[in-house]
Structure 1
Amino acid sequence: MKTILSISLIFLCLSPFAFGADQSQAASEIVQNAKTECASFEDGEFNATEQAISLHDLTGDGQPEEIVDASQFSCSTSASMWGGSGGTFLWVVVDGKPYEFLANKWKTVDFDGQSVLLLAVHSSECSDTVGPCYRALVWRDGFRTTR
């Protein structure tokens, strides 16, 4: 029974990185940097869920881009290593280049054939009042948004 439990624990610890075989170098570096940052802070243990990296075709070229979501990271020694009230780090990797954003939540939507990345961001990005605030980003040789 102890052997089965040990094997199960090893599998659970390694499973967040099993999806890494197909990820780009840029996405791998983001995850590795987070792991290193966690370990360097009071010898923390890093974990990432399987949802930490997701694929979405944001450029419209038929090839999915990677979105690395730090809200899916955890560090045993820090509750807020990758975010805070302003949002959590989110990286979108396009052609090997990571674009960094802060968001409280995010999702992609299809708007008349165009992929749109919607970010729920801190209210200070919209005005001085407290309330919901969103950014809509589309790809056209870089991310474009309205303010």
Structure 2
Amino acid sequence: MKPILSISLIFLCLSPFAFSAEPSPAANAIVQNAKEECARFEGGEFHATEQAISHHDFTGDGQPEEIVDASQFSCSTSASMYGGSGGTFLWVVVDGKPYEFLANKWITIDFDGQSVLLLAVHSSECSDTIGPCYRALVWSDGFRTAR
């Protein structure tokens, strides 16, 4: 009886983020659109890695939102279908609505209990000079940003 109770307690303590869920209809639609776009371009074959959809809680409600990262997509007939020097497409799905961004790289960080999406973006978003440029985005009934 004790082993069953112990195992049950371990599962109850695990974060809901540890369990992989089926992608939402909005995330599925983004991936399907990318797949169809690839097929339309000279009959390309589409591939997405397991990291194409990740989960992060931006709203603070304990339920993870999805990030669909096109840098994890590939198309056999196009080297740059989903991005270029300006960045790669990234969608954050909140309550079924996708928010689209362009980023060269991204991470999420916890800043005093608030999830922050940090995007490395093209330098033209900061100035006319070449150099690093970042956007920090937080959720507050929509994404708010500071540049």
Short-chain TM bin: 0.7 to 0.9
Q: Give 1:97 deviation, angstroms.
A: 0.1
| Count of residues in correspondence between the two structures | 128
The alignment's C-alpha RMSD in Å is 1.1
Q: Give 1:22 deviation, angstroms.
A: 0.5
Q: Give 1:146 deviation, angstroms.
A: 1.4
The letter of the residue matching 1:126 is C
In the alignment, is residue 94 of structure 1 matched against residue 110 of structure 2?
A: no
Larger Rg: 2
The letter of the residue matching 2:103 is A
TM-score (norm 1): 0.85
Spell out the pairing of 1:10-21 with structure 2 (5 A cutoff).
none
Q: How far apart in 2 are the matches of 1:108 and 1:21?
A: 19
Secondary structure of the corresponding residue to residue 39 of structure 1: helix
2:27 maps to which residue? Answer: 27
Q: How far apart in 2 are the matches of 1:21 and 1:42?
A: 33
1:8 maps to which residue? Answer: none
Q: How far apart in 1 are the matches of 2:53 and 2:146?
A: 26
Spell out the pairing of 1:1-147 with structure 2 (5 A cutoff).
22-147=22-147
Q: Which stretches in structure 2 are left out of the alignment for 5+ residues? A: 1-19
The letter of the residue matching 1:36 is E
Q: Which has the higher helix share?
A: 1
Q: Which whole-Å deviations, capped at 9, do the CAs of 1:1-39 have from their partners, x for residues lacking one?
A: xxxxxxxxxxxxxxxxxxx97010000000000000000
Q: Give 1:69 deviation, angstroms.
A: 0.1
Q: Give 1:74 deviation, angstroms.
A: 0.1
Q: How far apart in 2 are the matches of 1:62 and 1:75?
A: 35
Secondary structure of the corresponding residue to residue 66 of structure 1: strand
Q: Which runs of 4+ in 1 moved over 2 A?
A: none
Identity of aligned residues (%): 86
1:14 maps to which residue? Answer: none
Secondary structure of the corresponding residue to residue 89 of structure 2: strand
The letter of the residue matching 2:68 is V
